Chains A and B, each alone.
Chain A
């Protein structure tokens, strides 16, 4: 009767919602791309649909990459632990960069490589954007358990590239526009805060430890 004796234990284990929530994040995260594609394909994305689509994909790429980099600071500063969602956020960022680049190649440039190659080589903002995309590829390829186990501590080192990726992304965006406006300023400030946090992470963590210790002592 071993089968019946194990069953109650299995039933007692609570259902794990986490994988469901992660898949939901992937689906919700892709809604902007699908929505803008639908608007653009049906002629509802304004007078210049290709560029509007291209730019919106770029904005969402930067937003997801910033969200990825916000996971650790949010936790250390006393917020919720969102580490389980970090891979999904990062991969969404990668997909949006990929969509953005694909739209540039196809809808915008119609695969005219005699225009695309000089663009990438000669225009600093496109070169920088391209470098950001290239640096993102190994990060996307190693975003799985196998790579984490296989690479060990080197995985952490490799994924520090994400700092350069976000810098490249924001610089690419800011350089592509004619004047500095609110939107770019917000992205610059957020990037500076998130990367600045990495610089001051140790003192911040020490300060937290000290505070916790002080609390414990006060209680005792």
Chain B
């Protein structure tokens, strides 16, 4: 289904957009399996609609928002962002969505709220990765942001990509996009958002704290313990070895979104707040 879009913003400075076919067949969404081709193969049973997001915690007006209402009332823009996975590959994707700040304003965060916690849906019957003996992570998948990160204008609640509603394997019907952080922070198929005063748990951080920090800002100088983050392979669509498939490029600090640097002034992003 096409998404009604207002503004269009190219936040990837004209870089070539990744072909839709690559962006929707090469995914990490462990709820549908651990191989990158699994989500596209296994997400067929998932029923994204009807959908509602509960927003609660340290807010003056806790509310549950229906997906259709959000689609009808929120100002939806196209934002072309670079997307950098912690595994050192990247894409350029046109997302359709609204700023998370717009949603948070509606529930009126209290002064005591410092963090925002997110939670993915749990539906073992529709998500084969949540069933069976080999479950890579405990469910639900959770992640979080600092409130000021959540309020940053780049932080997007995406309902579509390439002008159409999100496909199941990409986090239908609504997901987070934080373009200056590694992809796993951009939590998918969100059912709950909770404002809190404590740093919320993150699934990957809980699984391996020395490898995946709470902040996980894209940072070419802070290596993953097992691989360098200095460069990335740009996923280039259906191109072969000798026509740019998997071409490497330098990774940019904050994935090129330098405007977020002020959020972290004075913080050691290598040793402490990685």
Q: Which residues of A are at the interface with B, using a C-beta cutoff of 8 A?
A: 40-51, 53, 107-110, 112, 115, 118-119, 122-125, 175-176, 178-182, 185
Interface residue from B34, B228, B240 paired with A43 (Cβ < 8 Å): B240
B222-239 interface mask toward A, CB cutoff 8 Å, 1 = contact, 0 = none?
010011101101011111
Question: Contacts A46-B26, A46-B37, A175-B226; is A41 near B240 (CB within 8 Å)?
Answer: yes
Question: Within residues 212 to 267 of chain B, which ones have a CB less than 8 A from any CB in chain A?
Answer: 223, 226-228, 230-231, 233, 235-243, 245-246, 248
Which residue from chain A places its CB closest to the CB of B86 in the assembled complex? A178
Residue numbers in A under 8 Å from B26 (CB-CB): 46-48
Nearest Cβ in chain B — how far from A173, in angstroms? 12
Evaluate contact between A179 and B34: CB separation under 8 angstroms. yes
Contact B246 A51 (CB under 8 A): yes
Most-contacted residue by chain B among A45, A46, A125, A182 (CB, 10 A): A46
- Known contacts A41-B240, A41-B242, A108-B246; A181/B230 CB under 8 A: no
18 A-B pairs with CB atoms under 8 Å apart are A41-B240, A42-B240, A43-B239, A43-B245, A47-B22, A47-B235, A48-B26, A48-B245, A49-B239, A49-B245, A53-B241, A119-B228, A124-B226, A175-B226, A176-B226, A179-B30, A179-B137, A180-B134
- Enumerate chain A residues within 8 angstroms of B239, measured Cβ to Cβ: 43, 49
B134 touches A40 (CB 8 A): no
With both beta carbons as reference points, the residue of chain A lying nearest to B224 in the complex is identified as: A123
The verdict on B123 contacting chain A, using a C-beta distance below 8 Å, is no
Contact status B34-A47, CB under 8 Å = no
CA distance A185 to B22 in the complex (A): 29
Residue in B closest to A106 when the chains form the complex, CB atoms: B241
Whether A181 contacts B34 by the Cβ 8 Å rule is yes
- A182-B129 Cα distance, complex, nearest whole Å: 12
By Cβ-Cβ distance, the 7 closest A-B pairs, closest first, are A50-B246, A47-B26, A179-B136, A47-B22, A43-B240, A49-B245, A43-B238
Interface residue? B207 (CB, 8 A): yes
User: Residue of A at shortest CB range from B28?
Assistant: A178
Residues of B within 8 A of A124 (CB): 226
Looking at the assembled complex, report how far the CB atom of B204 sits from the nearest CB atom of chain A, in whole angstroms.
8
A45–B242 Cα distance when bound, in Å, is 13
Bound complex: CA of A178 vs CA of B235, how far in Å?
A: 20
Within the complex, the shortest CB–CB distance from A114 to chain B, in Å, comes to: 10
Contacts A46-B25, A47-B22, A51-B246; is A179 near B240 (CB within 8 Å)?
no
Contact B134 A182 (CB under 8 A): yes
Residues of A within 8 A of B240 (CB): 40-45, 49
Interfacial chain A residues near B274, Cβ < 8 Å:
none
Using Cβ atoms and an 8 Å threshold, which residues of chain B touch A49? 239-241, 245-246
Is A118's CB under 8 angstroms from B228's CB? Answer: yes
Chain B residues, Cβ within 8 Å of A41:
240-242
**B118 contacts partner chain A, Cβ-Cβ < 8 Å:** no
B233 and A48 within 8 A (CB): yes
- Nearest-Cβ distance from residue B36 to partner chain A, whole angstroms: 7
Judge whether A107 and B241 touch: CB under 8 Å: yes
For A176, list chain B residues within 8 Å (CB): 226
Whether a CB of chain A sits under 8 angstroms from the CB of B89 is yes
Nearest A-chain residue to B137, judged by Cβ: A179
A123 to B225 alpha-carbon distance, docked (Å): 7
B87 — which chain A residues lie within 8 A by C-beta?
A: 178
B136 neighbours in A (Cβ, 8 Å): 178-181
Residue in B closest to A42 when the chains form the complex, CB atoms: B240
Task: Determine the residue in chain A with the shortest Cβ distance to B240.
Answer: A43
- Taken together as a complex, chains A and B put the C-alpha atoms of A43 and B134 apart, in Å, by 32
Bound CA span A145–B87, Å:
45
The distance in angstroms between the C-alpha atoms of A50 and B244, with both chains bound, is: 10
Minimum C-beta distance from A47 to chain B (A):
4
Q: Are A50 and B241 in contact (CB-based, < 8 A)?
A: yes
Q: Chain A residues near B89 (CB, 8 Å)? A: 48, 51
Q: Is the CB–CB distance between A40 and B241 below 8 Å?
A: yes
